Amino acid sequence: MAIDSVTLAILKGRLEQIADEMDATLFRSAFNPIIAEAHDASHGIYDAVTGETLVQGKSGLPIFVGVMAFAVKAVIDKAARQGGVHEGDVWIFNDPYDGGTHLSDFRLVKPVFRDGKVFCYLASVGHWHDVGGNVPGNYNPAATECFQEGMLIPPVKLYDRGEFRQDVVDILSANSRLPMSLYGDLNGQINALELGEKRMSSLLDEYSDATVGECLVELKARAAQMMRARIAELPSGTVSAEDFLDNDGIIDDPLKIALDLTIENDRMVLDFTRSSPACVGPVNISRSTAIAACYVALKHIFGDVPANAGVLEPVEFRIAEDSLLSVKAPKPVGGYTETILRLIDVVFQAVAQIAPKEAMACAYGTINALSLAGHRENGQRWVMFSFFGGGHGAHAGGDGLNHGNAPISTATIPPLEILEAAYPVRFTQWALRPDSGGPGEFRGGLGAVYEIELLEKRADVFLFGERGKFAPAGVVGGRKAAANRFWFEQADGFHEPPMASKIVGIHIDRGQKLRLETPGGGGYGDPFVREPEFVARDVRLGFVSPEAARCEYGVVLTDDGAVDSAETDNLRSIEAAE
Residues 185-224 that bind other proteins (CB under 8 A): 187, 191, 222-223
Distances 474 to 299, 354, 361, 528 between C-alpha atoms, Å: 20, 15, 5, 14
d(CA 325, CA 319): 7
Question: Which residue's CB is nearer to other proteins, number 184 or number 532?
Answer: 184
Does 321 participate in binding other proteins (rule CB under 8 A)? Answer: no
Q: In whole angstroms, how close is the CB of 84 to other proteins at the nearest point?
A: 29
Question: Which residue's CB is nearer to other proteins, number 13 or number 116?
Answer: 13
Does 395 participate in binding other proteins (rule CB under 8 A)? Answer: yes
Read off the amino acid at residue 132. Answer: G
Phi, psi of 172 (to 5 degrees): -60, -50
d(CA 482, CA 438): 7
Q: In whole angstroms, how close is the CB of 426 to other proteins at the nearest point?
A: 7
H or E stretch covering 260: strand 255-264
Question: Which residue's CB is nearer to other proteins, number 255 or number 452?
Answer: 452
Among 314, 389, 468, 474, binds other proteins (CB under 8 A): 389
- DSSP 8-state symbol, 375: E
Phi, psi of 575 (to 5 degrees): -60, -40
Among 256, 320, 236, 294, residue whose Cα is nearest residue 67: 294
Q: In whole angstroms, how close is the CB of 337 to other proteins at the nearest point?
A: 15
Q: Which stretch binds other proteins (CB under 8 A): 26-34, 42-50, 77-85, 268-276?
A: 26-34
Q: In whole angstroms, how close is the CB of 8 to other proteins at the nearest point?
A: 7
Q: In whole angstroms, how close is the CB of 405 to other proteins at the nearest point?
A: 5
Q: In whole angstroms, how close is the CB of 516 to other proteins at the nearest point?
A: 13
Q: In whole angstroms, how close is the CB of 26 to other proteins at the nearest point?
A: 11
Q: What is the DSSP string of 184-236?
A: HHHHHHHHHHHHHHHHHHHHHHHH-HHHHHHHHHHHHHHHHHHHHHHHHTSPS
Among 77, 160, 253, 451, binds other proteins (CB under 8 A): 451
Q: In whole angstroms, how close is the CB of 365 to other proteins at the nearest point?
A: 12
Q: Which stretch binds other proteins (CB under 8 A): 1-9, 237-245, 528-536, 565-573?
A: 1-9
Does 522 participate in binding other proteins (rule CB under 8 A)? Answer: no
How remote is the C-alpha of 101 from its chain's centroid?
A: 10
How many chain residues touch other proteins (CB under 8 A)? 83
Q: In whole angstroms, how close is the CB of 152 to other proteins at the nearest point?
A: 25
Residues 333-352 that bind other proteins (CB under 8 A): none
Question: Which residue's CB is nearer to other proteins, number 259 or number 452?
Answer: 452
Burial 62-72 (b: 16+ CB within 10 A, else e): bbbbbbbbbbb
Residues 399-438 that bind other proteins (CB under 8 A): 399-405, 407, 410-418, 420-421, 426-432
CB atoms within 10 A of CB 144: 18
Burial 207-228 (b: 16+ CB within 10 A, else e): beeebbbbbbebbbebbbebbb
Q: In whole angstroms, how close is the CB of 284 to other proteins at the nearest point?
A: 26
Does 1 participate in binding other proteins (rule CB under 8 A)? Answer: no
Are 343 and 365 within 8 A, CB to CB? no
Residues 359-388 that bind other proteins (CB under 8 A): 360, 363, 388
Distances 308 to 47, 85, 255, 406, 564 between C-alpha atoms, Å: 11, 24, 31, 21, 53
Does 177 participate in binding other proteins (rule CB under 8 A)? Answer: no
Among 26, 178, 179, 199, residue whose Cα is nearest residue 108: 26
Question: Which residue's CB is nearer to other proteins, number 84 or number 415?
Answer: 415
Burial 486-516 (b: 16+ CB within 10 A, else e): bebbeeeeeeebebbbbbbeeebeeebbbbb
Does 355 participate in binding other proteins (rule CB under 8 A)? Answer: no
d(CA 392, CA 360): 9
Among 456, 7, 489, 425, residue whose Cα is nearest residue 207: 7
Residues 72-91 that bind other proteins (CB under 8 A): none
Are 368 and 393 within 8 A, CB to CB? no
Question: Which residue's CB is nearer to other proteins, number 51 or number 184?
Answer: 184
What are the start-end ranges of the H helices in 323-461? 336-354, 416-422
Does 473 participate in binding other proteins (rule CB under 8 A)? Answer: no
Residues 257-316 that bind other proteins (CB under 8 A): 299-301, 303-304, 306
Among 27, 46, 91, 553, binds other proteins (CB under 8 A): 27
Q: Which stretch binds other proteins (CB under 8 A): 179-187, 241-249, 485-493, 504-512?
A: 179-187
Q: In whole angstroms, how close is the CB of 323 to other proteins at the nearest point?
A: 27
Report strand pairing: 315-318 vs 267-271. Answer: parallel
Q: Which stretch binds other proteins (CB under 8 A): 154-162, 163-171, 208-216, 394-402?
A: 394-402
Q: In whole angstroms, how close is the CB of 71 to other proteins at the nearest point?
A: 21
Does 173 participate in binding other proteins (rule CB under 8 A)? Answer: no
Residues 535-574 that bind other proteins (CB under 8 A): 540-543
